[in-house]
Amino acid sequence: MDLQLKGRRTLVTGSSSGIGEGIARMLAQEGCAVVVHGRNRERAETVAAEIKAAGVAIGDLSTDEGAAAVHAEALAALGGNIEILINNAGGSSTGNTTKTPIEISPADWISNYHTNTLAAVRLCGLAVPDMVAAQWGRVINVSSAVAVQPNNMGADYSGAKAALNNFTLSLAGSLKGVGVTANTVSPGIIMVDGMLRFGRQKYGDPNLTIEGVTQRLAADKVFDLPPAGRLGTPQDLALVICMLASPMSGFITGANYRVDGGQVRTV
């Protein structure tokens, strides 16, 4: 199927590694002009060269200044406005995976809010007016399964992702009849390089494969495998994002697509 993505000017935030890299790679394969983003220029340029991207945009999205710099560099690389904005950058900025809600400080909540909610709010504020003027655009925000099914630990991260879901629905509702859609994609546990490194270090075996790390972590109850029987991959996410980015998906807006192998138990 031709998703009609050829030449579409696209920014994928947090695409210097992990899920974002997988998304950028698949969108580039579909013909999008992709800008790769991260905080580290060397890492972003390595990915950009590999996927034949339109360029890179560097900056910390947890600040207004950083987001403005990313937006400006992306526009320069694309030679026009951003048509497809994938707000993927994020992750727990505090790493509070073992802290209960009352052990997490207000400062930690604010930190995660800046990284996981406001990063997207900032870029939408900069890029969406141009989409509206052009009467076409796609905003896809990468949230998390924990936004709707939080763990007992790490509430500062899951709370920030829940706010992102809320923002996306309001944004979609406000963009009535202007050809711009806004959706959320919510990953379950996705095996990215960081997790592979963590597993290899934890078990002292640098040769452990993704399957090996997954089995060991599941056996040690670090997580439960979802009904799909495996962890997700960046490609699992990228597939859904390519679909939502397509001009053929104009009737899908305000939705939250779960890509979690069946992890979230809800109807």
Size of the site for ligand NAP (CB under 6 A): 25
- Binding test (CB under 6 A) with ligand NAP, winner from 89, 126, 140, 182: 89
Q: Which of 141, 239, 244, 149 is nearest to 188 (CA)?
A: 149
Q: How far is the CB of 21 from ligand NAP (least distance, A)?
A: 7
What's the angle, vertex CA 235, arms to CA 173 and CA 230, rounded to 5? Answer: 105
Residue 193 has phi, psi (to 5 degrees) of: -55, -35
The β-bridge partners of 187 are: 259
189 scored as a contact of ligand NAP (CB under 6 A): yes
What is the rounded distance in angstroms from the CA atom of residue 145 to the CA atom of residue 185?
9
184 scored as a contact of ligand NAP (CB under 6 A): no
Rg for the chain, CA atoms, rounded: 18
Q: Of 132 and 141, which has the nearer Cβ to ligand NAP? A: 141
The residue with its CB nearest to ligand NAP is 18
Residues from 101 through 120 that contact ligand NAP (CB under 6 A): 115
- Binding test (CB under 6 A) with ligand NAP, winner from 111, 144, 184, 253: 144
190 scored as a contact of ligand NAP (CB under 6 A): yes
Strand segments, DSSP code E, in the chain are: 9-12, 33-38, 55-58, 84-87, 137-142, 180-187, 256-259
16 scored as a contact of ligand NAP (CB under 6 A): yes
Find the part of the chain contacting ligand NAP (CB under 6 A) among 33-41, 129-137, 203-211, 220-228: 33-41
The β-bridge partners of 165 are: none
Per CB under 6 A, residues contacting ligand NAP are 14, 16-20, 38-40, 43, 60-62, 88-91, 115, 142, 144, 187, 189-190, 192, 194
